[in-house]
């Protein structure tokens, strides 16, 4: 076999492996290219992989069905949140529609002690980390600043500033190193960090700085880029002339592109990268090649900058449908299971709506309470004036 018959794949360990075309079918660049790791085709057919098959084979049938349940419930929650915003119950919502596999696959690859730093769209990862979905709505409803304890869930509060969380993640990972929680061989202790960001964030200086510090410090962090093809209204070709996963080379650590609509491939690739981080092998850049099926947020109108034909193409790559086909054809799940998941999804939607509408409004003056870590005379005076102003209206009534 000649070199022209094989495709190189840079793994999370930085080793160049050659995988036959049967394992990595030739694909055009707009479909991910030949380098993209894929274990399930859009038709739900299993693609063998020399390195990653063993990782998938470790999953029990129950765990495999659990991934499907995650995908469906997360999509149902997201749809309910979008509806709540359209009805005026949320100020804004950033939908994850189409990106469920990228988030569930990577989220389930984490261990309990691992720590995730999200953007504002990682609702699927939050679900995997045990965050109550209703708590995700609080910030968008304007009744809290996040609603969950980051240190309890090892899932940081949402970050709105594009790319800033990559610096937070790298700094946390450097702290993990200095605490001696890397490469000990203790599976309950060794810790990895994962930073989520989108393709648009790769143009931010914060991300480049994070990659620099992670590389030179060999920090235990995985940079998980969800390339959903659009940075709001800017397509990939306006962001970079090279595949995003190639960025890692310039910072001295490995990168890999994975089919972000393939939950099995995302799980396996992310697990491999997290394992490498925990054992002291440093950072990895994972580019999950996916698609944002909806608007950037509910304040956006994607019909202004992309054509419907593009969306239709990606509908045929739906992460849930392909995984459902595979579960069915391999007899790992039956109609009864799928019906039960759909019923649970409907129950979740109803529960989320009722609990969201029941969330109490905060005391308006509480916005002054945590401006500074300690009490401050300026904010104390401002709070008193604000409360007096509001009380004057109450007296008129």
Structure tokens at 188: 């309950």
CB-based burial, 36-58: b 16+ in 10 Å, e otherwise = bbbbbbbebeebebebbbebbee
- Phi, psi (deg, nearest 5) at residue 46: -75, 130
274 contacts 222 by C-beta, under 8 angstroms: yes
Write down the catalytic residue from 75, 257, 292, 322: 292
337 contacts 65 by C-beta, under 8 angstroms: yes
CB-based burial, 83-118: b 16+ in 10 Å, e otherwise = ebbeeebbeebbbbbbbbbbbbbbbbbbeeebbbbb
Q: Does the annotation count 292 as an active-site position?
A: yes
Write down the catalytic residue from 189, 305, 376, 390: 305
130 contacts 122 by C-beta, under 8 angstroms: no
Write down the catalytic residue from 129, 296, 317, 322: 296
What is the greatest pairwise CA distance in the chain?
88
Q: Does the annotation count 305 as an active-site position?
A: yes
Cβ-Cβ contacts under 8 Å for 338 (sequence gap 6 or more): 324
Cα(268)–Cα(202) distance, integer angstroms: 23
Cα(59)–Cα(167) distance, integer angstroms: 33
Q: Check the CA dihedral 153-125-166-234 and report its sign.
A: negative
Cα(13)–Cα(336) distance, integer angstroms: 41
Q: Which of 55, 122, 76, 111 is nearest to 264 (CA)?
A: 55
DSSP string, 258-273: EETT-HHHHHHHHHHH
Residue numbers annotated as active site: 292, 296, 305
């Amino acid at each position: 076999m000649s070199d022209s018959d094989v495709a190189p794949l840079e793994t999370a360990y930085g080793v160049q492996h050659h995988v036959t075309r049967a394992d990595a079918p030739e694909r055009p660049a707009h479909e991910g290219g030949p380098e993209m790791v894929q274990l399930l085709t859009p038709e739900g057919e299993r693609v063998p992989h020399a390195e990653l098959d063993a990782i998938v084979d470790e999953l029990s049938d129950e765990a495999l069905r659990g991934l499907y349940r995650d995908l469906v419930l997360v999509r149902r929650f997201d749809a309910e949140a979008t509806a709540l915003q359209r009805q005026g119950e949320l100020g804004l919502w950033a939908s994850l529609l189409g990106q469920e596999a990228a988030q569930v696959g990577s989220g389930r690859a984490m261990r309990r002690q691992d720590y995730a730093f999200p953007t504002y769209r990682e609702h699927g990862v939050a679900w995997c980390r045990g965050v109550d979905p209703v708590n995700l709505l609080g910030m968008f409803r304007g009744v809290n600043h996040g609603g969950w304890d980051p240190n309890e869930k090892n899932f940081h509060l949402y970050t709105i500033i594009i790319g800033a969380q990559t610096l937070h993640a790298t700094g946390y990972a450097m702290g993990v190193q200095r605490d001696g929680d890397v490469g000990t061989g203790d599976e309950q202790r060794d810790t990895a960090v994962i930073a989520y960001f989108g393709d648009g964030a790769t143009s931010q200086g914060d991300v480049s700085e994070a990659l620099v510090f992670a590389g030179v410090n060999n920090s235990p962090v995985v940079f998980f880029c969800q390339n959903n093809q659009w940075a709001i209204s800017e397509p990939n070709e306006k962001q970079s002339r090279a595949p995003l996963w190639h960025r890692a080379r310039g910072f001295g650590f490995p990168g890999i592109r994975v089919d972000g609509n393939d939950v099995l491939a995302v799980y396996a690739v992310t697990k491999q990268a997290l394992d490498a981080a925990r054992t002291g092998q440093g950072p990895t850049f994972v580019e999950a090649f996916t698609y944002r099926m909806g608007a950037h947020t509910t304040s956006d109108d994607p019909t202004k900058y992309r054509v419907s034909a593009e969306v239709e193409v990606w509908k045929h790559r739906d992460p849930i449908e392909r995984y459902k086909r595979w579960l069915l054809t391999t007899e790992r799940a039956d109609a009864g299971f799928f019906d039960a998941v759909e019923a649970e999804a409907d129950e979740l939607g109803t529960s989320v709506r009722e609990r969201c509408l029941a969330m109490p409004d905060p005391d308006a003056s509480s916005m002054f309470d945590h401006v500074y870590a300690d009490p401050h005379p300026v904010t104390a005076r401002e709070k008193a004036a604000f409360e007096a102003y509001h009380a004057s209206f109450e007296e008129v009534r």
